[in-house]
Amino acid sequence: NAGVTQTPKFRVLKTGQSMTLLCAQDMNHEYMYWYRQDPGMGLRLIHYSVGEGTTAKGEVPDGYNVSRLKKQNFLLGLESAAPSQTSVYFCASSYYTGNTIYFGEGSWLTVV
């Protein structure tokens, strides 16, 4: 049982480049989330999805886009990377809100 899987685990980007982070879950969860974690700050919600084909903005959505074409996958895109987007990104999923939340292992992104 893989749980929540994120790829890639590490990436270095140049300013202005684009990339996509992939999150996959095999627990048939409805809700999926993308967070970023920065030193001295709690996890902050970027975007989330309450089901296949739906997405919504979280606390810090600027500079990111997401898609959930399949229930098991949630993609996070950076269209034009900026140094301020250097962070650790976590994907998570839960059956519904109010249920246990499961996290991926994180993706370390550096923008130079």
Contact predicate 87/109, CB 8 Å:
yes
**Residue 14 lies near another protein (rule: CB under 8 A):** no
Evaluate the CA torsion angle 23, 10, 63, 57 in order and state its sign: positive
CB half-sphere exposure, 81, CA atoms < 13 A: 20
Q: Judged by CB under 8 A, which of 11, 17, 30, 58 binds another protein?
A: 58
Q: Judged by CB under 8 A, which of 90, 93, 109, 111 binds another protein?
A: 90
Which of the ranges 19-27, 33-41, 61-69, 79-87 carries the binding residues for another protein, by CB under 8 A?
33-41
Q: Which residue, 64, 74, 67, is CA-closest to 94?
A: 74
Which of the ranges 22-30, 60-68, 73-81, 93-101 carries the binding residues for another protein, by CB under 8 A?
93-101
